[in-house]
Amino acid sequence: MRKVVGVIGGMGPDATVDFMSRVIAFTDASRDQDHARMLVDNNPSIPCRQQALLGKGDDPGPVMAGMARGLEASGADFLVMPCNTAHAFADAVRAAVSIPLLSIVDVTVAACRDHAAVGLLTTKGCLAARVYQDAFAATGSKLIAPDDAEFATLMELIFAIKAGDRSPAIGERMRELGEALVARGATAVIGGCTEITLVLSDGMLSAPLVSSTDELARATADVCAGRRELEAG
Amino acid sequence: MRKVVGVIGGMGPDATVDFMSRVIAFTDASRDQDHARMLVDNNPSIPCRQQALLGKGDDPGPVMAGMARGLEASGADFLVMPCNTAHAFADAVRAAVSIPLLSIVDVTVAACRDHAAVGLLTTKGCLAARVYQDAFAATGSKLIAPDDAEFATLMELIFAIKAGDRSPAIGERMRELGEALVARGATAVIGGCTEITLVLSDGMLSAPLVSSTDELARATADVCAGRRELEAG
C-alpha cells in the first residue's frame, strides 16, 4: 500500500511547487495512477521564520503545528516540510502529531557522507538556529558557511527569489557564493534553502551541489512507494 | 480576508503542479505572506475519467466527492479541479459540499466570448460527455473539434504527456492538431485539457490559444484576492 505524504508548504509557495514537481519526477510512473498522493497545505501566511529566529517576529511553530494536525486528520501517513529554516521549529510539528516527520536536514546530511568539508548555503536564521551544525556534529565533517558580507548578499538573493526573480543574473550571483565556499575547501556544497535550489543546480559549481529539495523529494518518493521505512516520532 | 482555495488534483499530478505555479504567477506578491493559501489533494489514484466516460471503468465521482468533502473540512472556501474532463463529474462534487466550485469550463468559455468559431482540443471523454458543447450552446459560437483520426493522435499525445514526455516533438504534433482547427475556420483554439497546456502555449499557433489552465489559475487568484465573487452551488 502506498503511503500518503502531507506537505507543510508555502515556505515559499514556489519552493513547495518545485518540491512537488521533483517528487513526481523521482516517481517511477507511466500513468496517473502510479503516482504518490500528496496532501499539501501551501500556506504562505506562516509567520516569517527569519524574523522569528532573529527574535523580531511571531513564532511560526503554532501555525505549523496546526497545519500538521490538519494534514494528519486528512489522511497523511507522514509529513515533510520543503523548507530548511522551518526545521528550527520541527519539535513543535513533531509534538503536534503521531505520524513521523521526514527531515530535509537529515536526508541532506546523509547525502554528504563522503565529504570531509561541506559548504553550506542557507539562510541566516537557519544558521543562527544551528539546524545544520547540530546535525553535522555527529558526522565529523567540517561545515563551511558564508561570511557576514556573503550572508548579506545571500539573504538579498533569497528575498529576490521569493519576490519572483529567478533570472540568470540571480543564479550567477548565487553560483559565486557557492564557488567561494569551494575556494575555502568545500568538496561539496549544500543548497540548504529551497529558494536557493530554484536558481542553483548541480553542474553549476566546480564541486557537486547537494540539493536539499532533491534529497527530500527522492526520500519522499521512496517512502511513498514503500522503498524506505520511517520511524514515528 | 483572503479566500482559501481547495484543489481537487492529481488529474494528472504534473498538471496540478503546473496549475499551482500559474496561480502563484498570477498573484501580485512580493513576499511569501502576500500569496494565496492552497489546500491541495494531489490524488493520482482517482479512477480514469476516460475509461469511465467511455463506459469501461469505475465512476470517479465518489472519489472526487470524498476529496471535495476533505478539502471543505480542512478549511477551503471554494474548490477548483485543474482537469477539464473531470468536469463531466462536477455535479457529484457540487452535491457533496456546501462551498462553490469554480468551473474551468465556465472561465474558459467566457474567455472565448469574442470568437464566433472556436477550435477545441480536449480529450475524447470530455467531448463524449458534451462538457464544452453544453457550455457553448448558450453563446452561439461554433465549436470545431478534431476528427476521428486527429482524436486518435490527440489521445496518444495526452497519454505520452501523462507518462512524462513533454519534448518539443510532442509539442510540435500538438501544434499541428491545433493548426488543423484554425485551417477549418477557428479564430481561437481552446487548450481544453490541462495536459495539453503543458506542451502547447499561446504564440505557437497562428490563432490565439485559450489555455484552460491559465484561465482557471487567473480566476482562482482573483477569487483568493477578493477581486472576483463566487456564488455557492
Q: Note if B126 is an active site residue.
A: no
Alpha-carbon torsion angle B73, B78, B82, B83, nearest 10: 80
Contact A108, A189 (CB under 8 A): no
A8 min Cα distance to partner chain B (Å): 10
B80 min Cα distance to partner chain A (Å): 15
Asked if residue A233 has pLDDT above 90, the reply is no
Judged by CB atoms closer than 8 Å, whether chains meet at A32 and B44 is answered as yes
pLDDT value for B232: 61
Q: Measuring CA to CA, how many Å separate A166 from each of A15, A196, B8, B45, B196?
A: 12, 10, 29, 33, 25
Judged by CB atoms closer than 8 Å, whether chains meet at A39 and B40 is answered as yes
Asked if residue A75 has pLDDT above 90, the reply is yes
Asked if residue A88 has pLDDT above 80, the reply is yes
- Residues B108 and A12: their CA atoms lie apart, in Å, by 29
Q: Is the pTM of this model over 0.80?
A: yes
Judged by CB atoms closer than 8 Å, whether chains meet at A46 and B32 is answered as yes
Q: Stretch B185-205: mean pLDDT, rounded?
A: 96
Domain residue extents for chain B = 5-104+214-224, 105-212
Q: Positive or negative CA dihedral for A182, A188, A194, A199?
A: positive
> In this predicted complex, what is the ipTM?
0.93
Task: Tell me the count of A-B CB pairs closer than 8 A.
Answer: 114
A212 min Cα distance to partner chain B (Å): 19
Residue to mutate among B1, B11, B17, with most A CBs inside 10 A, is B17
Q: Does B14 touch chain A (CB under 8 A)?
A: yes
Judged by CB atoms closer than 8 Å, whether chains meet at A32 and B42 is answered as no
Environment class of residue A19 by beta-carbon count within 10 Å: exposed (0-12), middle (13-18) or buried (19+)?
buried
Q: Which residues of B touch A24 (CB under 8 A)?
A: 13-14, 17
Residue to mutate among B1, B16, B32, with most A CBs inside 10 A, is B32
The reply to whether CATH 3.40.50.1860 applies to domain A5-103+214-224 is yes
* Residues A42-61 pLDDT 10s: 999 999 999 999 889 999 99
Asked if residue B217 has pLDDT above 70, the reply is yes
Q: Which residue of B has its CA nearest to A38?
A: B42
Asked if residue A147 has pLDDT above 90, the reply is yes
Of B10, B24, B31, the CB nearest to A17: B24
Contact A200, A172 (CB under 8 A): no
- Residues B135 and B137: their CA atoms lie apart, in Å, by 6
A29 falls in which pLDDT band (50, 70, 90)?
confident
Rounded to 5 degrees, what are φ and ψ at A194? -75, -5
Asked if residue A232 has pLDDT above 80, the reply is no
CB atoms < 10 A from the CB of A225, how many?
17
Of B30, B37, B162, the CB nearest to A32: B162
Judged by CB atoms closer than 8 Å, whether chains meet at B24 and A37 is answered as no
> Whose grid coordinates read 509534538?
A95
Nearest of B152, B114, B198, B74 to residue A7 by alpha carbon: B74
CATH architecture under which domain B105-212 falls:
3-Layer(aba) Sandwich (3.40)
Q: Stretch B71-89: mean pLDDT, rounded?
A: 97
CATH of the domain spanning B5-104+214-224: 3.40.50.1860
Of A17, A33, A46, the CB nearest to B17: A17
A221 falls in which pLDDT band (50, 70, 90)?
very high
Asked if residue B29 has pLDDT above 90, the reply is no
Contact A12, B27 (CB under 8 A): no
* Residues A102-122 pLDDT 10s: 999 999 999 999 999 999 999
Q: Are strands A38-42 and B38-42 parallel, antiparallel or unpaired?
A: antiparallel
* Residues A30-45 pLDDT 10s: 888 889 999 999 999 9
Judged by CB atoms closer than 8 Å, whether chains meet at B13 and A35 is answered as yes
Q: Which residues of A touch B21 (CB under 8 A)?
A: 14, 17
Active-site residue, selected from the candidate residues B112, B126, B193, B224? B193
pLDDT value for B8: 98
Asked if residue A182 has pLDDT above 70, the reply is yes
- Residues B230 and B32: their CA atoms lie apart, in Å, by 25
Instruction: Write a three-state SS string for chain B.
Output: CCCCEEEEEECEHHHHHHHHHHHHHHCCCCCHHHCCCEEEEECCCCCCHHHHHCCCCCCCHHHHHHHHHHHHHHCCCEEECCCCHHHHHHHHHHHHCCCCECCHHHHHHHHCCCCCEEEEECCHHHHHCCHHHHHHHCCCCEEECCCHHHHHHHHHHHHHHHCCCCCHHHHHHHHHHHHHHHHCCCCEEEECCCCHHHCCCCCCCCCCEEEHHHHHHHHHHHHHCCCCCCCCC
DSSP A24-79: HHHS--SSGGGSPPEEEEE-TTSPPHHHHHTTSS--SHHHHHHHHHHHHHHT-SEE
| Same fold flag, A5-103+214-224 and A105-212 | yes
Q: Stretch B111-129: mean pLDDT, rounded?
A: 96
**Whole-number mean pLDDT of chain A?**
95
Amino acid at B141: S
Q: Which residues of A touch B32 (CB under 8 A)?
A: 10-13, 44-46, 48, 162
User: In the 8-state DSSP scheme, what is residue A101?
Assistant: B
pLDDT value for B47: 94
Q: Does A80 touch chain B (CB under 8 A)?
A: no
Query: Percent of chain A scored above 90 by pLDDT?
Result: 91
Nearest of A10, A125, A9, A122 to residue A56 by alpha carbon: A125
- Show the cell assigned to B135: 457550455
Of A11, A31, A73, the CB nearest to B32: A11
Residues 6 or more apart in contact with residue B68 via CB below 8 angstroms: B6, B8, B79, B93, B96, B97, B101
Neighbouring-strand partners of residue A104: none
